[in-house]
Structure 1
Amino acid sequence: MDTRPVAPKRFADAQHPYSATRSAAGLIFISGLLGVTDDDIVPGGIAAEARQALANLGARLEENGRRPEDVVKTTVLLADLSDRDAFDSIYAEFFAEPRPARTCYAAGALPYGARVEVEAIASAGAPREAGERAAW
């Protein structure tokens, strides 16, 4: 009998042993986000995935009363480093100056065949006003 784990057929079926966000020491740590919507990686390549991954990051920030300008550090994983220029143009639209410190790595493979994954650390600071939202 084969007892190896089987990858979920759909993204929402996955069981992940970590927190989506975690606060400590005045910071909010946001786990890696993919370009997922409607239970699947968005079609359209790196630009579409980058936009969706950053939109998902924006949603996590908003859930925690934060905005993109509260992000102090990001880590970006790309399935192919040749996608960096395309990713950078989308990233520059999402984050205004001064942009967060960033590390960008090429990953051999990302979950679900994704092309990009973005994690972030944001300042917890004072809570934002209700309804105050980023332009993204």
Structure 2
Amino acid sequence: MELIQSHELPAPAGHYSQAVAAGGLVFLSGILPSSAEVDPAVAGFEAQCGSVFEQCGKVLRAAGCGVADVVQCTAYIVGVENWPAFNAAYARVFGAHKPARTVVPVPALHYGFLVEVQLVAQRPQ
């Protein structure tokens, strides 16, 4: 098992890794749209989606992957009414690539964020 840490992001505050590689796959932990530019009290859902996918991209790059290598996505969104906005952001990020996906509406997320994304990618051969 290889622990992966993007040097473009702060280290996790909890007892977990940003991602772990094992058996040719890369498993990203749940990523929040936390960055200096995204204050959950101010940033809307679309801005948070942009930020969370940017954060995911940084972790994927640290693992030697890109969005085209993603095979599965699990997203947690606050409010089912945000589903169309999530779909639009997801389509912009993945384009014609269509990994398996689960979207789970939830009542709340850590720190007041509105979206959290977890990915599984296959490392290029």
Could you state the TM-score of these two structures normalised by the residue count of structure 2? 0.84
5 Å matches for 1:93-112?
A: 93-112=92-111
Runs of 5+ consecutive residues of structure 1 not aligned to the other structure: 1-11, 127-136
Kindly provide the amino acid, as one letter, of the partner of residue 64 in structure 1. A
Contact 1:50 1:87 in 2 (8 A): yes
Alpha-carbon shift at residue 14 of structure 1 (Å): 7.0
Contact 1:72 1:101 in 2 (8 A): yes
Partner of 1:6: none
Q: Does 1:32 align with 2:33?
A: no
Alpha-carbon shift at residue 18 of structure 1 (Å): 1.1
Return structure 1 stretches of 4+ with deviation > 2 angstroms: 12-15, 39-44
SS at match of 1:76: strand
Alpha-carbon shift at residue 108 of structure 1 (Å): 2.0
Partner of 2:72: 73
The total of aligned residue pairs comes to 115
Partner of 1:22: 20
Could you state the TM-score of these two structures normalised by the residue count of structure 1? 0.78
Distance 1:94 1:40, change over 3 A: closer
Kindly provide the amino acid, as one letter, of the partner of residue 75 in structure 2. V
Over alpha carbons, which structure has the higher Rg?
1
Q: Deviations over 1:80-110 (max 9, x none)?
A: 1110101111110000223111000011210
SS at match of 2:95: coil
Alignment root-mean-square deviation, CA: 1.9
2: distance between equivalents of 1:21 and 1:15?
14
Runs of 5+ consecutive residues of structure 2 not aligned to the other structure: 1-9
